[in-house]
């Protein structure tokens, strides 16, 4: 009797969680400006309700009464995740959970205005409040007061620790810097030039999403300041953005968010914790895989280039090969989401450093803009002259997502591991992708990743899917091979 009671309770929690996700999507895409205060209050109340459900004292009683010898592996995972959520939630006071949710909703709106105005000081007080609140949350969650960051990282990458994650990510730095320096000595690929109407970009983005397998009966695409995805299997929505001088931003933001949505749409049971995503590193592996290994591949250029040409006949790119080179142009730039694969993880490492120091107190918010600009100059050799291209470019800190950024690089590492294994299992994959046929690719991910939910840890899931433990080496080899060929190194 205890198991049905527990599962029914967990479905209620998951349902409210999905409502919170749709509220976040609505806030960014549809909500009128004057609704910000009201929405922040609504978000706070909803967070309080979720917290109450997660800390229900009946949860440990139900769990204790269940005989795990007589239940499925799926329900064992539900019990494990329910216990984990209960243990984490009972450490955080309800009023603090509500305050963080409210401050995050307010922070996102203030960030959006500050970004539009190009003024970090407009956003600094809201960010300072969020940093302090997240420190308090981490203190509640952590058994080690000397490393509060790990308590926040654990929300996105369960079990991950800075002491093991940092060497893995740092392993990328030297090979990427070396690759960047070699490429810098070579002639650059052609840049997209011309005018690309937003309406046509969106039409092509929808066609691209459908081609990759996105189910529009279970989702939709809208415009937002910062692209994101939200929701569950039956209602998985994404946003993208347009720049009429640069169609690639829209296309590859869409491909990225479609990767997230495909993972959500492939979940086996949307209202139980064991069916949710394994970790954000795994989630990002799906988005980065579809964005890079598929949509930026030479094979997919055979399908995507003619489509681009049909929507933009005056485009200054004249062949699929030239298109492939253009979308993989390596150039040092300011914006993470627009960065090529060689630079992308260097952008993540910068954010990983800064947010660790914000949470530890080694860096104060009032010094963040100057420190960002100083380190960006050191790592990338460029002076940040527009805060929209600097510390205000990402939405994450404005909604309290401290500990999220390293999962992007983990996603790149995992996606390269998956890509290597997939090519062994599907040797003709690239020939199919060249015709726009991604069905076999999606089915492989469905079977290996999507329908596994949280049955396994992230490391064990990659091990199960690929036969090897996750490592940075496949990513380094993938990048050196791809860009070595592109730039004749």
Active site residues: 257
Q: Yes or no: say if 256 and 207 are a contact pair by the CB < 8 Å rule.
A: no
Q: Comparing C-alpha atoms, which of 173, 153, 163, 172 is closest to residue 281?
A: 153
Give the dihedral sign, CA 101/103/104/105. Answer: positive
Q: How far is CA 274 from CA 79, 80, 114, in A?
A: 8, 9, 39
DSSP 71: S
Find, among 382, 338, 330, the residue nearest to 187 by Cα.
Answer: 330
Residues 267/276, Cβ–Cβ less than 8 Å:
yes
Q: Which of 303, 82, 326 is nearest to 194 (CA)?
A: 326
Other beta carbons less than 10 A from residue 17's beta carbon: 17
Q: Which of 23, 59, 15 is nearest to 269 (CA)?
A: 15
Please list the residues that pair with 235 across neighbouring strands: 232
**How far from the centroid of its chain's Cα atoms is residue 487's Cα?**
29
| Residue whose structure tokens are 């203190």 | 139
C-alpha distances in angstroms, 174 versus 181, 182, 343, 471?
11, 12, 12, 16
Strand duo 229-232 + 235-240: pairing: antiparallel
- Let me know: does 82 contact 63? Beta carbons within 8 Å: yes
Q: Which helix (H) or strand (E) holds 331?
A: none
Query: Is the Cβ–Cβ distance between 36 and 111 less than 8 Å?
Result: no
Q: Which tokens is 476 given? A: 């380094």
Tokens of 183: 């490429």
Identify the bridge partners of residue 410 per DSSP, sorted by sequence position. Answer: none
Q: How, if at all, do strands 221-223 and 235-240 pair?
A: parallel
Instruction: Render the burial of 447-467: b for 16+ CB within 10 Å, e for the rest.
Output: ebbbebbbbbbbbebbeebbe
């Amino acid at each position: 009797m205890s198991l049905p009671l527990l599962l029914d309770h967990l479905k209620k929690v998951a349902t409210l969680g999905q409502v919170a996700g749709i509220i976040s999507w609505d806030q960014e895409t549809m909500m009128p400006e004057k609704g910000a205060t009201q929405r922040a209050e609504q978000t706070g109340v909803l967070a309080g309700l979720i917290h109450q459900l997660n800390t229900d004292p009946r949860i440990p009683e139900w769990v204790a009464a269940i005989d795990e010898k007589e239940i499925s592996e799926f329900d064992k995972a539900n019990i494990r995740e329910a216990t984990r959520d209960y243990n984490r939630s009972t450490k955080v006071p309800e009023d603090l959970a509500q305050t963080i949710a409210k401050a995050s909703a307010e922070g996102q709106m203030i960030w959006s205005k500050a970004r539009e105005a190009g003024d970090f000081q407009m956003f600094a007080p809201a960010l300072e409040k969020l940093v302090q609140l997240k420190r308090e949350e981490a203190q509640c969650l952590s058994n080690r007061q000397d490393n509060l960051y790990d308590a926040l990282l654990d929300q996105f990458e369960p079990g991950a620790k800075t002491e093991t994650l940092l060497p893995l990510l740092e392993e990328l730095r030297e090979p990427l810097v070396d690759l960047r320096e070699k490429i810098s000595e070579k002639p650059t690929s052609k840049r997209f030039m011309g005018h690309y109407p937003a309406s046509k970009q969106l039409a092509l983005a929808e066609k691209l999403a459908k081609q990759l397998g996105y189910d529009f009966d279970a989702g939709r695409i809208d415009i937002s300041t910062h692209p994101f995805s939200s929701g569950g299997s039956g209602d998985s929505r994404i946003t993208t953005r347009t720049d009429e001088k640069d169609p690639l931003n829209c296309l590859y933001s869409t491909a990225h968010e479609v990767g997230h949505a495909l993972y959500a749409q492939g979940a086996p049971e949307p209202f139980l914790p064991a069916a949710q995503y394994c970790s954000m590193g795994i989630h990002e592996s799906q988005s980065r895989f579809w964005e890079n290994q598929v949509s930026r591949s030479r094979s997919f250029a055979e399908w995507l280039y003619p489509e681009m040409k049909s929507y933009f006949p005056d485009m200054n790119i004249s062949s699929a090969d030239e298109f492939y080179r253009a979308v993989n142009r390596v150039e040092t730039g300011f914006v993470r989401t627009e960065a090529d694969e060689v630079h992308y993880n260097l952008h993540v490492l910068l954010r990983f450093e800064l947010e660790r120091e914000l949470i530890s107190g080694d860096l104060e918010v009032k010094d963040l803009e100057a420190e960002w600009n100083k380190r960006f100059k050191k790592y990338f050799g460029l002076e940040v002259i527009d805060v929209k291209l600097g510390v205000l470019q990402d939405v994450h800190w404005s909604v309290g997502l401290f500990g999220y950024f390293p999962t992007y690089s983990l996603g790149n590492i995992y996606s390269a591991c998956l890509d290597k294994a997939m090519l062994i299992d599907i040797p003709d994959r690239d020939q199919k992708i060249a015709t726009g046929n991604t069905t076999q690719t999606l089915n492989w991910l469905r079977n290996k990743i999507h329908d596994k939910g949280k049955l396994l840890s992230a490391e064990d899931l990659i091990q199960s899917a690929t036969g090897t433990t996750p490592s940075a080496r496949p990513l380094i080899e993938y990048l050196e091979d791809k860009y070595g060929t592109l730039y004749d190194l």
